[in-house]
Structure 1
Amino acid sequence: MRLTVFWERMADHFGAGCADTLARDHVMSELGGRTVHEALAAGWNAKDVWQVVCTVMSVPAEKR
């Protein structure tokens, strides 16, 4: 998954402002105690990060 697709999905589900806030501020143990931004900067694959976000934030299956 390209980063542009990842951020489009984040904005589509959470709204542009909330997606950035979530990605910047919400630490997820499933990402090794990192935020989305930190996980991506550490080299995590965007698809893997998206799957974690979907699980943690209960994103409906049709949006995954």
Structure 2
Amino acid sequence: MRESELWRRLEIVLGPDYVRSWAGSQVMAELGGRTVIEALADGIEAKTVWRACWAVLELPESQR
């Protein structure tokens, strides 16, 4: 998964006005105590970040 796809998916789920705020403030244990923005900056793959977001947001299996 490309980073642009991750952002597209998050925008669909969270909305364009909230996505960046959420990605910069939601600390996830699944990402080693990082936010989405920190995880991507640290080189964690977008697919791994998406899976963590998917779990935290409790999205349906169809969006995995």
Q: State if a TM-score over 0.5 links the two structures.
A: yes
Gaps in structure 2 of 5+ consecutive residues: none
Q: Which has the higher helix share?
A: 1
2:35 counterpart of 1:30 = no
Q: Which runs of 4+ in 1 moved over 6 A?
A: none
- Structure-2 separation of matches of 1:44 and 1:35: 11
Of all paired residues, the percent bearing the same amino acid is 42
1:31: Cα distance to partner?
0.6
Tell me the equivalent position of 1:43: 43
- Structure-2 separation of matches of 1:36 and 1:16: 15
* Structure 2 residue identity aligned to 1:63: Q
Tell me the equivalent position of 2:61: 61
Gaps in structure 1 of 5+ consecutive residues: none
42-51 or 16-25, which deviates more: 16-25
